[in-house]
A and B are shown apart, each in its own frame.
Chain A
């Protein structure tokens, strides 16, 4: 798994690639926690290049959501591949998460 980060008007856009499973999720959690503790609480996770997510990856998402919201921000998802979307939907996360078609609309959603 790799994470690349860019900043668009104060919104951190994190592009994940590879798999978010029990092997990689600790690294993803560490990365997100570092972001949030550095004051970035408006985060978009661009998952277009994520080929696999398991329940371990969902824990990363849930933790990031709770932490950003506690800090007054939000954690939003963009560009979910079919498999990833199915897992998010099975867990019922679609009702508590904001999901966008692409990273651009996700980041601009913070300005509305």
Chain B
């Protein structure tokens, strides 16, 4: 009797996109195939603008008096910037704050990835008013890239005390659900069944779990982090007040854990906060909870 066994694939099944396979021409002759950002970006400017309009929730724009069609905001100023250059597989949309304030209200960056799917590179949602913390530049004015390559410890401590998570310069907009739901609608239109991201911090991984994401990599790390932050665990023991970001009660909250991890506490486990990857399947919730009964 012959039967089929399964072995780990030897060849690259998930091949890079081929323009012929994944073109915007599918808009007219195929209703289900996935379309790449690159092919959208190669469309005529006006079509491109119509397509990317689907990415932003109209209600978010309305909240800031921005016209959802013309993108004209208060003082008659253009208030949405779309970066989608021809031959580029990247799309970046920024909703600018009223009165030309420094930080955009919303920044979304999407890119084609190497296996015919879409990555959400960046989603930053800022309260336009309220305190701002300059965690984005170090004391010499060099960019910190969300605190990943450099750190501004003075501003980070202030931000932490103000209730922010690592990587934030302002309080969040509490609109991630709205924005991600809209993104799903947009991706469904593009023919994608899932999209991916790499969570910048423990706090963002926690948010994305609540938004229905599963893990491509790092689910076990999240479980390990939870276990080791419990009393008796190695991370718990390393909350030794050796830095302002390692206070003894930080294990109790998502933000507390996120700051300690940002501060490098995973070293004691010989782990690092990188290489996590999450996936959202359109319409489905994975119901992952790696921090049960969590407090943000």
Direct contact of A and B (CB under 8 A): no
Interface residues, chain B, CB within 8 Å of chain A? none
Interface residues, chain A, CB within 8 Å of chain B? none
